[in-house]
Amino acid sequence: MTGRPSGAALAGLASRIEAAATPGRRFVVGIAGSPGSGKTTLALSLVGHLNARRTGVAAHLPMDGFHLANDALERRGLRERKGAIETFDGWGFLAILGRLREETDHTIFAPSFRREVDEGIAGEIAIEPDVEIVVVEGNYLLVDRPPWAGVRPQLDVAWFCRTPPADREARLIDRHMRHGRTREAATTFAREVDGANALLIEASAARADLVVSGVTGEPEAVASER
């Protein structure tokens, strides 16, 4: 089950952003959610929709580019927990969010993440000076512990992408199998590692402005009034 937001849902979300954005000031949207919730699909679809309205207005910045390298994880004994909050460069991620605000007269380069090699790729993402909207997405954007607690103040709006747990697990098992794990190993990782991470992530949803379905892209509830 993949689930893609409808055109109508994307139009509604894009209109929310455009109504909230301030002309002449870069607007940063955060989309948080558990592994397999559909947040990356939602973010990419939203950026595509915004750019179809006005070419080059929006860019996507995934938190996944800030995974620690596999060698670094091995040295720290964290390789089997890749994806847990301690396996990311949180301070580096927070720093680039600050740069998005302060450095609007030149291109900002950021790392991407390639699942086929299971590593970050330095400098692959280019956020050009004329980008007005940056859609940031990742698991831990709303977690209230250092350094992640500093992320929420850098976001103009924060949304939480939510998908039923059974659907998330099915997506994750399929993903892990596509990248080389057996069904048994994929199921174990989805339940014991991704599942443990999801407990922390789901608890952070109350810090979001809006909860959005990871299946349809439709808003489900206002999580908080800001």
What pLDDT sits at residue 222? Answer: 55
What pLDDT sits at residue 160? Answer: 97
Indicate the DSSP class of residue 193.
I
Alpha carbon 175 to its chain's center: 17
Per-residue model confidence as pLDDT tens digits over 78-119: 998 999 999 999 999 999 999 998 999 999 999 999 988 999
Q: Where are the domains of the chain?
A: 7-62+130-221
What pLDDT sits at residue 1? Answer: 42
Burial class (CB in 10 A: 0-12, 13-18, 19+), 129: exposed
Distance CA 70, CA 104 (A): 32
Can the peptide bond before residue 164 be classed as cis, meaning omega within 30 degrees of 0? no
The CATH architecture that domain 7-62+130-221 belongs to is 3-Layer(aba) Sandwich (3.40)
What pLDDT sits at residue 224? Answer: 45
pTM comes to 0.90
What pLDDT sits at residue 175? Answer: 83
What pLDDT sits at residue 130? Answer: 96
pLDDT mean for each 10 residues of the chain (226 residues): 79 95 94 94 96 96 97 96 96 97 96 93 97 98 97 97 89 87 89 88 96 92 48
What pLDDT sits at residue 172? Answer: 82
